[in-house]
Structure 1
Amino acid sequence: MAQVFSVTNVVQLRTLVAVVRQGSFSGAARDLGYSPSAVSQQIAALERTCKVELFERRAHSVHPTPIARQIAERSNEVLMALDRLRDQIRAISQGWHGSIRVGAFGTASQHLLPTAVRHFVDRYPGSEVMLEEGFPTELLRALVARDLDVALVYSHGPSQRKWMKEIKFVELLSEKMLLVLPEDHPFAGHRHVSLADLRDEKWIASHEGTPGAEGLEELCAAAGMTPNIGFRSNDPDVMERLVREKVGVALIPAMGFVPMPGVTTVELADSNAMRIVYAAYLPDDASPLIEALVDALREVSSSLVGDGALTPWPHPQDPEG
């Protein structure tokens, strides 16, 4: 039986079902839009495959054998399932519904994704969104491996983006890196402070090897200094609480900063002290679902403009990776 189904094609099964239903080759031909001879050839080919006679031929009609009726009944179930699958594939390819896997770093998950996902599912109510969190390098590897469809990532300045060329990066927004100080720090209340003025400070940074830690080191190197790092945490809330306890200062991106008693922020005079957020995807895999989600992320990014700490990236010109 396995050999039979390995060589039996869908056209032959549809023809069989039509002949059984209509009771004649000519009736099946009208149903299927074939010629009667084409129907006859399909049935003959199916009989050769099954090695059994499926119809009793008479002068003006054909009569299905019991085995033909059994095969037609089961084939009808299979063909209906194939039709449903075809419709689902068409729906997914045309962006009507489907699933989309999105990865994001922590603050983007909090500030960008929830509203963007709401906009997205309003437009595609039959879709399913699966969310994951990670660092940009992890998310980009998952994207290239096709374990994600869209990744929200960031870099500390356009010149510092050293990512895969096969990926398309759509800039969503830039956010300032805020200097977080104890509220009674000598620089508290200043409008701007340069990193070079902070060479004697002890720093609170994210874990070694993370984009945040590398960004701090690169910014300090550009200012001609090396940060004296005394504490490490990947949690902005923990970093702020350490600043409040006056054990160091920290750089926190605008989206990650939540005001709390005992700390204050000062803008850095260094023009490259910023973080750029991107939506990344593989152009070869682009679909209406992916494009719709990126559009929703753009909308949300444009709306996240308050005191100037967040700036939506100009569109529609988007450089490619």
Structure 2
Amino acid sequence: MNLPRPLRTTLAPALLTVTALLALTACGTSEADSGASGADATVEIRIPDPGNSGVLARGKKDGSLDKALAKAGAKVRWTGSAGPFAPAAQAMNADQLDFAVGSVTSGITSLAQRPGFTFFSAVAPDTAGEGILVRNGSGIDSVADLVGRKVAVNQGGTGEYLLLKALAKAHIPADKVTRVYLRPDQTAAVFNAGKVDAWAVWATYAVAELGSGTAHFVADGAAIGSDNYSLNAIRTGFAEQHPKVVKALYQYLHDAGAEEKKNPAAYLNVFTDAGPTAVTGKAKEIQTDITRQGGTVEPIGPQDIKRFEDVAAFYAEQKVTTSQVDIAPHVLDIEKLS
């Protein structure tokens, strides 16, 4: 299986739009953004609760994230819970959240509205952990066998992208397969009850199914040719007011992600190793292997933007969006922040 390629770090002139904006505003810090007043006030950055696994969960438990942000005069305010990017984007637009993680696919559909967020870093596609899941013994042995079947997808996000990309690669018209739009956190029960024939999904939800031994990928991200990057987004107003905090957050995510690749098990079951949020047994082995194969958080370079644009063009071609979304103006040059 091919590993995700490293992200490029040379930045394009297209990134200068956001950078120039930051240069004009980096000297000020609004009381509304910081949650306090005075030159020595600590800035609060609102981040969704990270759950039981990953670098943010570990950073929350051991205090390492707050320690890293303190160097830039900031600390975390955990709020809500991590979930799909679309509602998180709406929360950033409404000044209720400062940071979120989502796929480039969900990012594109969110940018089609009036975005109040900017992408400041990315992780290369998880070609091992995403794909089209089918139940063992379903009789679905290839993408071609999906014709006439029902496939669960999250509308406008990773699932719909993976299905459409797989069908296009197999030269199968999209209307030959029925897309069933479901929230990913509500799909497992539907899939396991046989009410849909397949599920286009990513590691967050796929690992439990793969670990159960009752399902497998008929095509994973590598076979599909996925360009489904994971993107880190920051509220634009926050980035304008607190560029040093954004830079510190990026550095933490990059460094902690590199450590996670070396020792994936240390970033699983951070708060508890029992209950519904714990990853155990075969699922733990699968998740550990996926993490080792994955990428790390990196700056977004021109070659990455080109791949984002190709995904946006594909979405427009497939009529997921009404027109091609322009991504470059919403990418932040993290290496130029100070």
User: What TM-score results when the alignment is normalised by the length of structure 2?
Assistant: 0.52
**Residue in 2 that maps onto 1:251:** 200
Which structure has more RCO (C-alpha within 8 Å, separation ≥ 6)?
2
Residue 315 (1) aligns with residue 315 (2): no
Q: Distance in 2 between matches of 1:98 and 1:157?
A: 28
- Corresponding residue to 1:136 among 56, 66, 85: 85
**CA deviation vs aligned residue, 1:234-253 (integer Å, no higher than 9, x gap):** 244x5334433444111110
Q: Give the number of aligned pairs.
A: 222
Structure 1, unaligned runs of 5 or more? 1-86
Question: 2:161 is matched by which residue type in structure 1?
Answer: G
Deviation string for 1:43-89 (max 9, x for gaps)? xxxxxxxxxxxxxxxxxxxxxxxxxxxxxxxxxxxxxxxxxxxx963
Cα deviation for residue 231 of structure 1 reads 4.9
Unaligned residue ranges in structure 2 (runs of 5+): 1-35, 265-287, 306-327, 332-338
Residue 119 in structure 1 maps to residue 64 in structure 2: yes
Shift of 1:184: 1.9
Q: Give 1:211's aligned residue.
A: 157
The equivalences for 1:252-267 within 5 A come to: 252-257=201-206, 258=208, 259-267=211-219
Selected match of 2:148 from 196, 200, 216 = 200
Change (3 A) 1:210 1:186: same
In the TM superposition, residue 103 of structure 1 has moved relative to its aligned partner by: 4.3
Measured on the aligned residues, the alpha-carbon RMSD in Å equals: 4.0
> Cα–Cα, structure 1 residues 89 and 271, in superposed 2: closer, same or farther, change >3 Å?
farther
Partner of 2:226: 273
Q: Residue 280 of structure 1: CA displacement?
A: 1.3
Distance 1:175 1:249 in 2: 19
Match of 2:253 in 1: 297
| Counterpart AA for 2:122 | E
Letter in 2 for 1:167: T
- Is residue 131–residue 162 contact of structure 2 (8 Å, CA) maintained in 1? no
Distance 1:255 1:135, change over 3 A: closer
Q: 2: CA distance between counterparts of 1:291 and 1:240?
A: 37
8 Å contact from structure 1 (residues 181, 244) kept in 2: no
Please give the alpha-carbon distance, in whole angstroms, between the structure 2 residues aligned to 1:292 and 1:184.
Answer: 49
| Separation (CA, whole Å) in 2 of partners of 1:157 and 1:272 | 18
For residue 311 of structure 1, what is the amino acid of its counterpart? Answer: G
Offset from partner CA, 1:162-188 (integer Å, 9 cap, x none): 565972431034223222121223456
> Quick check: 1:169 aligned with 2:115?
no
**Displacement of 1:112:** 4.8
> Measured at CA, do residues 203 and 316 of structure 1 come closer, stay the same or move farther in structure 2, by a change above 3 Å?
closer
One-letter code of the match for 2:214? G
Aligned to 1:62: none
CA distance in 1, matches of 2:107, 2:88: 18
Distance in 2 of aligned mates of 1:181 and 1:275: 20
2:281 matched to which residue of 1? none
Is the contact between residue 116 and residue 297 of structure 1 (CA under 8 Å) also seen in structure 2? no
Contact 1:120 1:296 in 2 (8 A): yes
CA displacement 1:198-248 (0-9 Å, x = unmatched) = 223321233xx4524542564256343326347543244x53344334441
Which deviates more from structure 2 when the two are superposed, residues 292-301 or residues 214-223? 214-223
What is aligned with 2:135? 182
Aligned with 2:289: secondary structure? coil
Code of the residue aligned with 2:165 in structure 1: it is L
Asked if structure 2 preserves the Cα contact closer than 8 Å seen for 1:180 and 1:265, the reply is: yes
Tell me the equivalent position of 2:44. Answer: 99
Q: Go from structure 1 to structure 2 and tell me whether the alpha carbon gap of 1:145 and 1:263 turns closer, same or farther (over 3 Å shift).
A: same
What is the TM-score when the length of structure 1 is the normalising length?
Answer: 0.54
Q: 1:197 to 1:116 in 2, by over 3 A?
A: farther
> More deviation in 109-118 or 144-153?
109-118
Change (3 A) 1:165 1:205: closer
Report 1:151-162 matches (<5 A). Answer: 151-156=100-105, 162=111
Match of 2:242 among 286, 289, 293: 286
Match of 1:82 in 2: none
Query: How many Å separate the matches in 1 of 2:257 and 2:219?
Result: 21
Letter in 1 for 2:295: P
Q: Indicate the SS of the match to 1:264.
A: strand
The structure whose residues are more often strand, as a share, is 1
Distance in 2, Cα, partners of 1:230 & 1:187: 16
Secondary structure of the corresponding residue to residue 250 of structure 2: helix
Query: Would the aligned equivalents of 1:116 and 1:296 in 2 still touch at CA under 8 Å?
Result: no
> Counterpart in 2 of 1:222?
168
**Residues 166-175 or 249-258, more deviating:** 166-175
